[in-house]
């Protein structure tokens, strides 16, 4: 099956491409310098030149709380336009299967925990990442509408926060795990006695190892053909405070953790109900958090000139 993976050169994308190759699928990966997927003509050209039968849309403009606060308009526009153009070309070209990747940021700020897919529309998302989350959630509406009117087999997956090797460790745009790892490694190397972290550490998050997410996407593309959104996660949560302590231990940082409460916490809690993914296409996360963090820290240290 001719396969295209947008965002295939990114963090999740490189792991998914490896997973597909292990199943004898060699996907085409459009690179950012060659394709601007926010432009309708570029998306049309992509479909013309590659003639995909399966398209997995991972491409996104995204970052942590600070990046979302700095780029709310761009994140809303870019993510909405990319998905809308891909949906329309999928309809026009009679695509066999479209896999759209949403985000846990689409859930209401005070959704009951664990988050169930049926609660997706019962409130407004957490304000700092609402433009991004709403743009992604709009693609679910598009996927369901195109299925109803045109028969397009488009599915929508909602991964929880990802982490692992090849993550983005740029402190200006990274998510919490790579940011904590980098801050503590650098503090240990420079013998700083404290690391300042955002918020008060009380929010909880659920984290999914990136290779497990790649497996979930591969299974869904192969086995799932329904209209309903599906959570992808572990079903377990940890507070940011406890996560920071664990990463300090794994990186060998022994200084003080200082919480800057003038900075936002983000959503109070995040934990998914993951039963639908197991029922519909047999996915269950396999990598325990500590083991995944150990692998991620080891990878990051391996990229650095000194350990």
Structure tokens at 35: 């394709």
Q: Which domain holds residue 81?
A: 3-163+206-236+270-287
pLDDT of residue 307: 56
Asked if the structure places residue 197 within a domain, the reply is no
Task: Indicate the angle between helix axes 240-251 and 176-190, nearest 10 degrees.
Answer: 40
pLDDT of residue 207: 97
Asked if the structure places residue 184 within a domain, the reply is no
Distance from C-alpha of 268 to C-alpha of 255, rounded to nearest angstrom = 26
CATH code at position 213: 3.40.50.720
pLDDT of residue 227: 98
pLDDT of residue 174: 86
Asked if the structure places residue 80 within a domain, the reply is yes
Q: Are strands 3-6 and 54-57 parallel, antiparallel or unpaired?
A: parallel
Asked if the structure places residue 262 within a domain, the reply is no
pLDDT of residue 305: 63
Beta strands in the chain (DSSP E): 3-6, 54-57, 97-101, 154-159, 161-163, 194-198, 204-205, 207-209, 230-232, 238-239, 256-260
pLDDT of residue 142: 98
Q: Which parts of the chain register pLDDT below 70?
A: 305-307
- Annotated catalytic residues are 132
Asked if the structure places residue 178 within a domain, the reply is no
Report the predicted TM-score, pTM, of the whole model to 2 decimal places. Answer: 0.94
Asked if the structure places residue 151 within a domain, the reply is yes
Asked if the structure places residue 260 within a domain, the reply is no
pLDDT of residue 306: 67
pLDDT of residue 236: 97
User: For the chain, what is the domain count?
Assistant: 1
Asked if the structure places residue 282 within a domain, the reply is yes
């Amino acid at each position: 099956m001719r396969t295209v993976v947008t965002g295939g050169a990114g963090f999740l994308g490189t792991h998914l491409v490896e997973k597909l190759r292990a199943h004898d699928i060699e996907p085409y990966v459009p690179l950012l310098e060659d394709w601007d997927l926010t432009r309708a003509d570029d998306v049309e050209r992509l479909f013309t030149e590659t003639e995909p039968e399966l398209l997995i849309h991972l491409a996104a403009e995204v970052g942590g709380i600070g990046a979302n606060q700095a780029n709310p308009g761009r994140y809303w526009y870019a993510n909405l336009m990319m998905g809308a153009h891909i949906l329309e070309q999928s309809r026009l070209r009679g695509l066999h299967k479209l896999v759209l990747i949403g985000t846990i940021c689409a859930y209401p700020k005070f959704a009951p925990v664990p988050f169930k897919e049926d609660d997706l529309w019962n409130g407004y998302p957490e304000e700092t990442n609402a433009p991004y989350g709403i743009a992604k959630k709009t693609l679910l509406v598009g996927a369901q509408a195109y299925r109803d009117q045109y028969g397009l087999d488009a599915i929508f997956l909602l991964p929880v926060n990802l982490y692992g090797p090849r993550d983005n460790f740029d402190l200006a745009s990274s998510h919490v795990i790579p940011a904590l790892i980098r801050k503590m490694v650098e503090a240990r190397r420079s013998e700083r006695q404290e690391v300042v972290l955002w918020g008060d550490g009380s929010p909880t998050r659920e984290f999914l190892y990136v290779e497990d997410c790649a497996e979930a996407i591969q299974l869904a593309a192969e086995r799932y053909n329904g209209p309903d959104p599906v959570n992808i996660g572990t079903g377990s949560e940890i507070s940011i405070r406890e996560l920071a302590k664990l990463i300090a231990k794994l990186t060998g940082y022994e200084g003080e953790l200082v919480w800057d409460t003038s900075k936002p916490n983000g959503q109070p809690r995040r934990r998914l109900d993951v039963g639908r993914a197991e029922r519909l296409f047999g996915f269950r996360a396999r990598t325990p958090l500590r083991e995944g963090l150990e692998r991620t820290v080891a990878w990051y240290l391996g990229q650095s000139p000194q350990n």
